[in-house]
Structures are given as C-alpha cells and as structure tokens.
C-alpha cells in the first residue's frame, strides 16, 4: 500500500512539473521569410537602379529606336549615336530603366519645343540632379522632329529633353546637340497639349520645373495641394511607356 502511494505521488509531481514548464516556456520566435522581407523593397514604383546614376553607363547601340506611348498616341525616335555619343548613351540608359515612364510634357510651346524629362518621383529627380554629362559637339542641326538634351549652361545635361517643333537653328550655336529624330508618329508630337505655354518665369502659365522636381507629379494634379491655384495642369500629356527597339539589319542586296 505504501509503495502504491509513493508511486502515485511521483506521477503527480511529474505531471505538475510538466504543466509548469509548459506555462513558463518562452514563445517561439516567428521566422521572417526572405520573400516577405523583400516586399518592402519591391514596392517602389520605379526601377531601383535609377537611384544610382553613376552605375548606369552602358554604351548604346550605334542605331536604335525608342517607341513612346503617350496620351496623344505613339511616336518613334531613331537615335544615331554618331550625332551625339554621350547624349545617346545617357538616353539609352534612362529609357532602359524606364526613367521617362509617367513623365509629362510640361513645357509645350507651339512652334518651338516640346520639353519633358522630369521624373514623377522626387527621390529619382534628386538622384539625377547633379549627374551631369559633358557636352557633345553639335554635328546635326536642331531641325523639326530632332531630340536633344536641355541644359542649364555648358556641361549640365542630365535628364531633360526637348523635341524641336520648327527649325531651331539658333540652338545649334548654343551647344544643343541632337542625338535622334522622330521618324514615326509626328502627328502625336504636334498634337501635344500646349495651352499652358511656358512656365511663369518665361511669361507662361505652365508648371514650375523646380517644384516638379521636389514634389513630382503630385504637384501637377488638380486639388488643394496642386499648383496653378489649386487647379493643377490636368490637360498636360504624359508618357505611359517607352520601349527600346533595335532595328533589324537590312537584307542583303539581290545579285
């Protein structure tokens, strides 16, 4: 009888110790998978490579096309690297990483130029603000449909571009070096909305470039936080997508 009591006591003590240890054991740590950890990085609405301009220095093909899809339709630019090598290389890298996707034609002056090239994302604009390239010699005139980088003086080209809407011969002597020309869809370029004209410092009613850089496309939108007296600039056309196309080699001549 005594042995049975001792056995029951031992079993009871064992069960109590197990219950106590189960109650006081620390909770297991949750493991964070690599996929969930990377969700935050993947949430950026632009290519992360655009935050590192110094690394985007790939040499462009000698000839290549860029197809622009816009709110006015499509047009194609044929780039000839020999016209402006540094400019062509910069343009190629920006398009390859979709810098211009979502950008607006913020300065459309009828009979002069259609200008674009400010990122919709302020952090991207900040990364490229001082990523300048040297000027190229001007070997191709600024004829209608040609595309060149805008500048703020010698050797200050970054990301802004303009398409000439007329014979801008005077720009040749000011160092603007075209690197390509619109070869298809010229009508879409001509139809870009130009009702706002130039920016205020040049006597127009368009958006201010420095505010676009700091606030992105939010500055352009209609509403209390937008510019233009809270009205924004809703009629500005924008680029929806850009695509690089390498032209196929010409077929051999028949004998």
Task: Give the highest mean pLDDT range of 7-11, 197-201, 232-236.
Answer: 232-236
- Domains in the chain, ordered, with CATH? 86-227 (2.40.100.10)
Do 216 and 119 touch, CB atoms closer than 8 A? Answer: yes
Q: What is the pLDDT of residues 15-25, one digit of tens each?
A: 445 544 444 44
With a CB cutoff of 8 Å and minimum separation 6, the contacts of 96 are 56, 58, 244
Q: What is the pLDDT of residues 49-61, one digit of tens each?
A: 999 999 999 999 9
CB atoms within 10 A of CB 84: 27
Q: Are strands 63-70 and 73-80 parallel, antiparallel or unpaired?
A: antiparallel
Average pLDDT of the segment spanning 98-109: 97
Given this model, what pLDDT does residue 203 score? 87
Strands (E), 41-189: 63-70, 73-80, 107-109, 113-116, 146-149, 161-164, 180-184
Collapsing DSSP states into helix, strand and coil, what is residue 102? coil
Q: Which of 34-48, 164-178, 185-199, 214-228 has the lowest mean pLDDT?
A: 34-48
Between residues 46 and 7, which one has the greater pLDDT?
Answer: 46
Q: Which residues on neighbouring strands pair with residue 157, listed in sequence order?
A: 133
- Name the average pLDDT for the chain: 87
Collapsing DSSP states into helix, strand and coil, what is residue 221? coil
Q: What is the pLDDT of residues 200-228, one digit of tens each?
A: 888 899 999 999 999 998 999 876 677 88
pLDDT band at 33 (very low <50, low <70, confident <90, very high): low
Average pLDDT of the segment spanning 133-148: 98
Q: For the sheet containing 107-109, what is the strand order? A: 107-109, 113-116, 161-164, 146-149, 180-184, 73-80, 63-70, 239-245
Backbone torsions φ then ψ of 243, nearest 5 degrees: -135, 130
With a CB cutoff of 8 Å and minimum separation 6, the contacts of 99 are 46, 47, 50, 119, 124, 159
């Amino acid at each position: 009888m005594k042995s049975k009591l001792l056995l029951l006591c031992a079993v009871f003590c064992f069960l109590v110790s197990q219950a106590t240890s189960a109650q006081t054991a620390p909770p297991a740590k949750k493991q964070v998978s690599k996929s969930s950890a990377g969700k935050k990085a993947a949430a950026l609405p632009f290519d992360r490579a655009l935050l590192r301009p110094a690394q985007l220095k790939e040499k462009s093909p000698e000839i290549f096309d860029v197809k622009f899809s816009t709110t006015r339709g499509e047009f194609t630019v044929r780039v000839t690297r020999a016209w402006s090598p540094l400019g062509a290389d910069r343009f190629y890298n920006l398009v390859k990483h979709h810098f211009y996707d979502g950008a607006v034609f913020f300065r459309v002056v009828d009979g002069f130029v259609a200008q674009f090239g400010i990122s919709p994302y302020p952090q991207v604009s900040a990364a490229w603000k001082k990523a300048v390239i040297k000027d190229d010699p001007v070997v191709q005139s600024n004829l209608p449909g040609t595309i060149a980088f805008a500048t703020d003086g010698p050797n200050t080209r970054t990301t802004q571009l303009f398409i000439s809407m007329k014979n801008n011969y005077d720009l040749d002597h000011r160092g603007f070096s075209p690197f390509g020309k619109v070869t298809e869809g010229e009508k879409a370029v001509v139809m870009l909305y130009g009702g706002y004209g130039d920016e205020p410092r040049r006597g127009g009613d368009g958006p201010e470039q420095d505010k676009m850089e700091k606030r992105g496309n939010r500055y352009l939108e209609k509403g209390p936080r937008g510019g233009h007296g809270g009205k924004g600039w809703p009629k500005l056309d924008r680029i929806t997508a850009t695509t690089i196309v390498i032209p196929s080699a010409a077929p051999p001549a028949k004998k």
